[in-house]
Amino acid sequence: MHSFHTPEQTNRRLFLGQAGALVAGGLLASPLAARQRNRRGDTVVAIGSRRELFLDDFLVESTRGKVDYQLHHPIPREQVIHHNQPWEGTSSGYHTVIQDGDLYRLYHRGFNFDLVNNQIRATNSEVTCYAESSDGIHWVKPELGLYEHDGSSQNNIIWKGPGSHNFSPFLDQRPGCPASERMKAFGGLKRDGGMLLFKSADGIHWEKVQDKAVITNGAFDSANIGFWDPTIEKYRAYWRYFTGGVTEADNWKPEGIREIRTAVSDDLLTWTDEQDLVYTDSPDQEMYTNSVIPYFRAPHILLGFPMRYIERGWSPSMRALPDLEKREVRAAAHIRYGTALTETQIMASRDGVEFKRWNEAFLRPGIQRPDSWYYAHNNVAWNMVTTRSSLPGAPDELSFYASSGKWHGEGSRLTRHTLRQDGFVSASSPFSGGELLTRPLTFEGSRLDLNFSTSAAGTIKVEFQSATGRPIDGFTLDDADETFGDELDRTVTWNGSPDVSSLSGRPIRLRFTLSDADLYAFKFQEARMP
């Protein structure tokens, strides 16, 4: 667990950086303010009606008693796709999943190799493949007839050529984006000149926007992505680089560690403000991918799910991992193919550059089983989607898709994992209880909703205070009704009433008391219609 800090520690550095440049009249007034670096003190943060999560302590002033950050982990479900066609193969990877209205789209690299005489031998050229689903659980690979493989066009290939190594599509959500190019994609390596830009009207038929790469300063040998960022009203890109050495197509000698860069653009063609990502309270680690995306329920927060890469060498524990003989064969081709391990982490940012990265794994390799605990295992697909719960009547869940079964056999697989909506991190308290006090803030709305979970004996209560810490009559802890249960959006009440409209726009603090409870998120909004 990660502890919140006590009142005596409230002046420490924020997890997500701070600057007061956009503070105007004591309020953070611009759209960018949601993701800016602010000073603590008496600054009032305007949260409007946006959903706030506990992925960082940006809004937390202090805690008392026992309150911790609790990182939650996705639950493995079923294998949803087997990449068992010759053009897909043992090295299918760099998956992207997109929820496009009622249709779920999946894109991935198709590539197969064999391990022969201690060498890796490709059996086909890299291609980009496509699958789709009506529920995110059951997937089909349509025969599209667009590209030939081994003399036949009966396949699900949607792109073949430069960019196929790491083709990463996204829905372009910029207001006014023409329907003819409603989907974009990045793909490309140094040999392709860098990051190439593609467009499509239907997600199936793709073309390059231009032959010249739009971003050239980097290594790019990973999944590199971009998207429209509604908070800053610009496009943002994230891509691979190395901290040292040379990474040119004809002189590939990287040094240092694998890291992530970002830049912004108005048109996807010209990019500015290139910066290396900064991680607060985290050691230097190899970040193989980035998988950054605005969280759709709170788009002012950028979430990333990077794949952590670790070369651990031979040891008794390494030899105790699954498939030792196969591992030794891979290591004969290159040591890291046998002894490198990967897993997925989680990180969050409010400015797109400085991230709170959890040092603990978000998705561990899991229980040992055949074709697990290897290099590129549990690489989470870019994006998350909502899918129906397996529990009748329960709310939709978040679904993540992670790679498995790579290197051997007929082809790799994709496994679905689920998590409650907003359920990445909670402010968590045991039965003995604790409380959390926010910084001064203003809100817009007439009710307060919580995403929370308690035991049958647990409870949460909410008090409104003035900016100076005085309990507000009618909204004190004594006025607060106990909240217990397990819901995504439960409206809080005081003396039986949910109406907080009299406090809307006024600087206030929120005091949460918790007992055997997890608080994932809160949101102010207008009253529900009868």
For the chain, the residue count is 530
Which residues, 6 or more positions from 503, have their beta carbon under 8 angstroms from its beta carbon? 443, 464, 472, 475
Fold of 75-419: Tachylectin-2; Chain A (2.115.10)
Q: What is the pLDDT of residues 157-198, one digit of tens each?
A: 999 999 999 999 999 999 999 999 999 999 999 999 999 999
Q: DSSP string of 9-77?
A: GTTSPPSS----TTEETTEE-SGGGGGS----TTPBEEEET--EESSS-TTEEEEEES-EEEE--PEEE
| Domain 2-72+430-525 fold | Jelly Rolls (2.60.120)
End-to-end CA distance of the chain: 41
What pLDDT shows up at residue 93? 93
Q: What is the DSSP string of 433-470?
A: -EEEEEPPEEE-SSEEEEEEEEEEEEEEEEEEEETTSP
Tell whether pTM > 0.85. yes
Residue 286: is it exposed, middle or buried by C-beta count within 10 angstroms (0-12/13-18/19+)?
middle
pLDDT of residue 113: 85
Burial of 77 by CB count in 10 Å (0-12 exposed, 13-18 middle, 19+ buried)?
Answer: middle
The chain-wide mean pLDDT, for the chain, equals: 91
Name the E strands within 180-339.
183-187, 196-200, 207-208, 225-229, 234-248, 251-265, 271-276, 278-280, 286-287, 293-295, 298-304, 307-311
The C-alpha atoms of residue 495 and residue 488 are separated, in whole angstroms, by: 22
- β pairing state of 354-357 and 347-349: antiparallel
Residues 131 and 81 sit within 8 Å (Cβ to Cβ): yes
For residue 41, the model assigns a pLDDT of 47
Closest to 278 in 3D by CA, of 262, 291, 267, 289: 262
List residues bridging with 62 in a β-sheet: 437
* Ordered mean pLDDT values, 10 residues apiece, the chain (530 residues): 36 30 31 39 86 95 95 96 94 96 97 83 92 98 97 97 97 97 97 97 98 97 97 98 93 93 98 95 90 97 96 96 93 93 96 96 95 92 97 97 86 95 98 97 98 98 97 98 98 98 97 98 85
- pLDDT-above-70 percentage for the chain: 92
Tokens coding 419: 């998590």
Residues 282-331: pLDDT tens digits? 888 999 999 999 999 999 999 999 999 999 999 999 999 999 999 999 99
**Res 435: pLDDT:** 97
Domain extents for the chain? 2-72+430-525, 75-419
By CB neighbour count within 10 A (0-12 exposed, 13-18 middle, 19+ buried), where does 373 fall? Answer: buried
Q: According to the model, what pLDDT value does residue 42 have?
A: 55
pLDDT number for residue 130: 98
